[in-house]
Amino acid sequence: MAAYRAIGDYERKWAGTLLDDLAELPSIRVLGITDPARLHERTPTISFVHARMTAADVVKHLEKQGIFAGNGNFYALPLTESLGLEPDGAVRIGLMHYNTGAEIARLLAALSELE
């Protein structure tokens, strides 16, 4: 039986790109699997926190740039509590099969403004 793949090749490519680029932003800490060799174990939904800004403030900044993101605990309160993320939670970005490199570049540019 073939191993389960959480995400397809297209989404994995962009998730890998996004994770690599987020790692270059000192104020961003990605939650979850970031090892490129393990991308097949995760979904293309990426959660992160900013060192100085609340998740809500990061999302407001992204909204002003026309970028949709969510913030909060996403019904995982025990997890966010154990990670010390409450009461702010995290920022969540979801990639899909229709996202493009240009959209990811725009997201990264917007997040770079927060450095």
For the chain, list the domains and their CATH numbers. Answer: 9-112 (3.90.1150.10)
Q: What tens-digit pLDDT sequence spans the chain (115 residues)?
A: 445 455 678 888 889 999 999 999 999 999 999 998 898 888 899 999 999 999 999 999 999 999 999 999 999 999 999 999 999 999 999 998 889 999 999 999 999 999 9
Query: In this structure, which amino acid lies at residue 75?
Result: Y
Q: What is the pLDDT of residue 42?
A: 87
Measured from the Cβ of residue 89, the count of other Cβ atoms closer than 10 Å reads: 21
Cβ proximity of 14 and 101 under 8 Å: yes
The predicted model scores a pTM of 0.89
